Structure 1
Amino acid sequence: MSARRGRRPGWWYAAAFVLAALAVWSFAVEPRWVAARVEPLSSAQWQAPAGLKVAVAGDWHLTSRSAWRITSVERAARIVDEINTAQPDVVLLPGDFLAGTGEDDEPLPIEDMAAVLGKLKAPQGVYAVLGNHDWWHDGERTAKALAAQGIRVLENASLRLPGHDIWVVGIGDHSTGHSDPMRALAGVPAGAATLVLMHDPFSFATMPRTRGLVVASHTHGGQVSVPGYGALIVPGAAPREWAYGWITHKDRRMYVTSGLGVSILPVRFNMRPEWVMFR
């Protein structure tokens, strides 16, 4: 009789198995299962030049501690090769290239990170903005290291895309106080089409109306997205509804990518890491 009282019911074992499977999936599988998504570049407000392909890859969070932070140099190099194989015309990198804050026990040297991303190839250029983690490490050093690899860093600045009447616009990171959308767009001719990249999506709330593509990162899609509810936590000032995908605000659209790496915990559930080709 006492032995029967101590025996656990069958549902307990089933629940334990499900929880263990979820833990393995969320910590070991999904954070490393990178999606290569394809999204439309044109919209109802703007018709992109025929054949133009724009790749977006944010939140790399490269590290020397890949067992915890996921994105090793080797893994990043494989993603770079995958993007290059897709032959984008333009590559946009919306920040957070390194993991941690720069005070980790084994931080990855900034120049090593830049050397990996410097292998990205796009005939009309690779463009970047800095994220909060980049500023925490050393924003100026990060910008110089990327520039030395041929990556154009646009901090509240713009450049005309070679061969097109399209401007690439980079808005600084809002969460570290570097966002200045008006300054970023100041050099863009009125009515010109734009490819706008920012790290923290909250800058979208205050930027002037533009015609073209707007992309952001920073949120990681919350890393954990509960079916029927969405992201549990969204960093920064952006509303939770802006955690991932196409965001509509005042009849304007922005795409927020889930990014490639992780932050705080090496976990993802229902929110795969990704890079995106807009075409």
Structure 2
Amino acid sequence: MLLSALRHLLTLLLALLFAAVLLAVWGLLIEPRWVAAREVAVPVSGWQGPARLKVAVASDWHIAHEFRHVMTIARAEGIVEAINAAAPDVVLLPGDFIHGRGEDGTTPEQIAAVLGRLRAPHGVYAVLGNHDWWTDGPRFTRALRAAGIRVLLNEAVPLPGTAVWVVGVGDRMSGHSDPRRAVRGLPPGAQALVLMHDPASALDLPALPGLVVAAHTHGGQVRVPFLGSVVAPHGWPKDKTRGWVEVGGRPIYITSGLGVSIYPVRINVRPEWVMFTVSGVEQKTATRRP
């Protein structure tokens, strides 16, 4: 009887070990590289912009040279090609372009050379994230601008050829967030595409019709069924780490981003870039494609 019990225990331990190995392979090698291209429809009452404006959002790239950091230059180039193939009208990049602080030798100029290949008739706009500031914010700004990307720091600019504005809010964690300053120059009743790195900046954002997107959370990187995200950055609510959430009384979309940070794993939180279709025509709230 004892022998039979030991055999059952050994079988159980082997099964658990096998499951742990599979989970590790999935979380370390497969899911972090299984990028989702999501499509989200955004109906805006009295929309003043182009009908069915296609807005691509790609954040938290965390680009590095080393395979273990997931987002290599080559993989980033492939994602840029995929975004271009989807033909966005405008591209928003909400920060954290570099992994860590570039310890493996990755430079802002190398990253800008990749992201500078993004193409959209109404332009490509970016804000810096905390990792970009920690590395060298001014250098990142110069490199991205030299590559044709409009870098915004608490400012608003008109979207060329439209009645819509693009608002870029600075990063909160590195001390650059000033949402009220960012919208100060907007005309009354303006509609906008707002991008920020840290969703907490939305707490101080005045009411503004249009689309508001944020990043930084990575969707928690690991989500447990029925429990939600295992972690969230700097006290942010664990139940508000991805997708549509309400912040400061308004809906914002928090993207789960493309790369990884701190630990190179994703479980039940696929990396993503998102194509929003902004329109005044009432549509389904969201559809997805893998």
Q: Is the 8 A contact 2:122 2:159 kept in 1?
A: yes
TM-score normalized by structure 1?
0.94
Taking the TM superposition and a 5 Å limit, the aligned residue runs for 1:74-89 are: 74-89=74-89
Change (3 A) 1:34 1:123: same
Taking the TM superposition and a 5 Å limit, the aligned residue runs for 1:88-127 are: 88-102=88-102, 104=103, 106-127=104-125
DSSP 3-state at the match of 1:277: strand
TM-score normalized by structure 2?
0.91
More deviation, 49-58/117-126: 49-58
DSSP 3-state at the match of 1:246: strand
DSSP 3-state at the match of 2:244: strand
Equivalent residue in structure 2 for 1:257, among 240, 255, 258: 255
Counterpart of 1:57 in structure 2 is 58
How far 1:46 moved relative to its partner?
5.0
DSSP 3-state at the match of 2:17: helix
In structure 2, C-alpha distance between the alignment counterparts of 1:88 and 1:193, rounded to whole Å: 19
DSSP 3-state at the match of 1:107: coil
Counterpart of 2:281 in structure 1 is none
In structure 1, C-alpha distance between the alignment counterparts of 2:43 and 2:87, rounded to whole Å: 18
Change (3 A) 1:45 1:201: farther
- How big is the alpha-carbon RMSD for the aligned residues of Structure 1 and Structure 2? 1.7
How far 1:14 moved relative to its partner?
1.8
Counterpart of 2:36 in structure 1 is 35
Asked whether 1:19 is paired with 2:20, we answer yes
In structure 2, C-alpha distance between the alignment counterparts of 1:251 and 1:235, rounded to whole Å: 21
DSSP 3-state at the match of 1:11: helix
The unaligned stretches of length 5 or more in structure 2 are 278-290
How far 1:107 moved relative to its partner?
2.4
AA in 1 matched with 2:78: R
Change (3 A) 1:157 1:250: closer
DSSP 3-state at the match of 2:43: coil
Counterpart of 1:164 in structure 2 is 162
AA in 1 matched with 2:54: K
DSSP 3-state at the match of 2:156: strand
The unaligned stretches of length 5 or more in structure 1 are none
Q: Is the 8 A contact 1:158 1:168 kept in 2?
A: yes
Q: Is the 8 A contact 1:34 1:260 kept in 2?
A: yes
How far 1:230 moved relative to its partner?
1.1
How far 1:249 moved relative to its partner?
3.2
Q: How many residues align?
A: 276
In structure 2, C-alpha distance between the alignment counterparts of 1:42 and 1:127, rounded to whole Å: 22
AA in 2 matched with 1:11: L
Taking the TM superposition and a 5 Å limit, the aligned residue runs for 1:125-204 are: 125-204=123-202
How far 1:4 moved relative to its partner?
6.0
